[in-house]
Amino acid sequence: MVDQSTEPHVNLAFGLQAVPGGYAVLFGAGASVSAGMLSAWGVQCDLIRKIADMEDADIPDGDDAPYDWYVERFGKEPAYDTLLDDLSKTPSGRQALLRSYFEPNETEREDGLKQPADVHRALARLVASGHIRVIITLNFDHLIEDALREAGLRPTVISRPSALTGMLPLHAQRQGVVVHLHGDYLHPDTMLNTPDELKEYGEETNKFLNQVFDEYGLIIAGWSAKYDPALVTALERCPTRRFDTYWADPYTLSPEANELLQQRQGTYVPATADTFLTRTADAVTALTESRRTNPRNIATAIATAKRDLRGGGLAINLHDTLRRETARLADHPLRTATCAVPQPEVDAELERRTTEWEAEAELLVALAALTAYWGDESTDRYWFAGVERLATATEASGLTVLIDLRRAPATLLLHSVGVAATAAERWPLVARLLTGPRAHSFINRKEHPAAALLGPYGAFGLPTSSSRLHHYLKPLLTGHVVADESAFIDAWERFEYLRLLVQQDTRQYIEGNYLRVSGLRGDYRPLASNWLDRELGPCREEAIFEPSNAEHPLLRAGFLGGDLSRVTTAQKMVDNEITQWVHQIDATAGRIFRSGPFYINDPS
């Protein structure tokens, strides 16, 4: 075994970070103990005792006593299908009997038994983050699958050896593949437990195990290696060790397990499966967070940028940082990553890429917003061209939602500088942002203002995209750029509403946004629309008598061509769309009446 100076879960976390998907998990009965599950052997022995009760036979205490009694009484080894046949003559009765061992009744559910435990949820976190893909379990329960589904994943589940042949390749199992090596309780004919059944595997199973043990590192938990000779043989015949092996057990390893660990030059971890996997998942999360720009570093960069801007003249360091960060994001591997991801894996991959973009763009977003708020036309040049550069993406094959996501850094940048410029009431800059940078639409293949194509939903493809972007920007801008949370909320809503007008004016689809609305049923209006009425009210009054006097800094700067009637038309159409959204949401939720202000998608 390998001696390590640092904690095993820390070393494993570094390994998972270095090679995402490079480790496979092997769970034995001990991994389900904390969930209140009997081991496979324990279930079989309990079934045998029920048969003995039917025959008024007395079985002495002891782990092997039921098995020995059955062999002596019937002259053969017990098997799940025959045991169940002896106890119930109907398929439904047999199924109900077996389910009682693996599915919680009402009392057990209240006590948290036969449900995913810490180890299963920690594993689900590692699968969701892309660090684990292959899971082998010797258990008949579905706790692993349940935990993965709780995490929003749709794993591939293999219960029969024949299903191994046609499954998606292991490296492509981005939402996890769970292989029940010894079957599962929903298919009693697949359940292997007796010494004879576990003596050897079929060709499909051996081929699969050869690949996993050769190509992957191993995380083993809850397995003693004492009763599974075929699995021990599969490990013994693997001569290669591409990545490390970690074997967690709170007790001293069995001689069989210790020999295997020595052969693989692995690490013994004296801990339960719950403890080891949870610590590992926490360590991976900590490492992932550490890759993000440290908040203190951002605060330092902002403070330095403020000094540069106050100093007058060319802020060389700020200029170079903004240009460097823009170039780095423009050349980021995610901008050219494949968008041809299998449909069942899209949700997890979308979340992974979105989170990565958010982390990678933080420094640019914060510094550009600061420059937009405190700067002038000379400093706007530091970052302005970056909006169009990041919004420019070549067409690709694959899923639309992942193709659109390549514009995520442009959306983050546009909204950060737009909110900041709005808060500073730099209306000429706001107008330039909304109408100047151009981008190509993948749908109608025409060029449009980039702002019309860089909505939260258009970039991130999630119903909660607008709310997520709002909450992403708020801590980056509040205090550093805008005075407080209230100022941020007002600036966010006003800029986003103006962007919706541009989106409507270019005939792009208008999606639901994180905006507050007020009014009565039949006439809900965004608070930002009321604000725009106040801003443009004098212009509209003057336009009645002198159209040439209908001026506002936004219009003078060319917002929607500087055409007041065009702005008014777009405003009416957007407000009507928002009213319809609220009516639809209220109808679905069974609400009769709401008064504002409230957020469009507020469930209350």
Of residues 38 and 294, more confidence is placed in 38
For the chain, percent of residues with pLDDT exceeding 90 = 46
pLDDT (tens digit, 9 = 90+) per residue, 85-99?
A: 788 777 677 777 878
What per-residue confidence (pLDDT) applies to 501?
Answer: 96
What per-residue confidence (pLDDT) applies to 603?
Answer: 45
d(CA 553, CA 513): 25
Is 559's pLDDT higher than 90? Answer: yes
What per-residue confidence (pLDDT) applies to 602?
Answer: 54
CB atoms within 10 A of CB 463: 12
Please list the alpha-helical segments (H only) found in 152-192: none
Is 592's pLDDT higher than 70? Answer: no
Tell me what the pLDDT averaged over the chain comes to: 86
What structural domains does the chain harbor? 8-37+114-284 (3.40.50.1220), 40-110 (no CATH), 293-506 (no CATH), 515-604 (no CATH)
Which of 29-43, 315-329, 515-529, 587-601 shows the highest mean pLDDT?
315-329
Q: Once rounded to an integer, what is the mean pLDDT over residues 128-133? A: 88
Is 172's pLDDT higher than 90? Answer: no
- Give the model's confidence band at 572: pLDDT under 50 very low, under 70 low, under 90 confident, else very high: very high
Q: What is the DSSP string of 352-401?
A: HHHHHHHHHHHHHHHHHHHHHHH--HHHHTTTHHHHHHHH-----SB-HH
What per-residue confidence (pLDDT) applies to 604?
Answer: 45
| Cis, bond preceding 597 (omega within 30 deg of 0) | yes
- Give the model's confidence band at 542: pLDDT under 50 very low, under 70 low, under 90 confident, else very high: low
Q: Once rounded to an integer, what is the mean pLDDT over residues 561-569? A: 91
Q: Once rounded to an integer, what is the mean pLDDT over residues 20-37? A: 89
What is the end-to-end Cα distance of the chain in Å, rounded? 57
What per-residue confidence (pLDDT) applies to 296?
Answer: 61
Is 548's pLDDT higher than 60? Answer: no
pLDDT (tens digit, 9 = 90+) per residue, 314-373?
A: 678 899 999 999 999 998 878 888 888 777 778 878 888 898 899 889 999 999 999 999
β-strands 523-526, 516-520 pairing: antiparallel
Q: Once rounded to an integer, what is the mean pLDDT over residues 20-44? A: 86
pLDDT (tens digit, 9 = 90+) per residue, 186-217?
A: 888 888 877 788 899 999 999 999 999 999 99
What per-residue confidence (pLDDT) applies to 549?
Answer: 45
* Tokens coding 78: 């017990």
What per-residue confidence (pLDDT) applies to 601?
Answer: 61
Is 307's pLDDT higher than 50? Answer: yes
Please list the alpha-helical segments (H only) found in 375-520: 377-380, 384-391, 400-404, 408-423, 427-435, 450-453, 456-460, 465-477, 485-505
Is 130's pLDDT higher than 50? Answer: yes
What per-residue confidence (pLDDT) applies to 280?
Answer: 95
* Cβ contacts of 254 within 8 Å, gap of 6 or more: 224, 225, 226
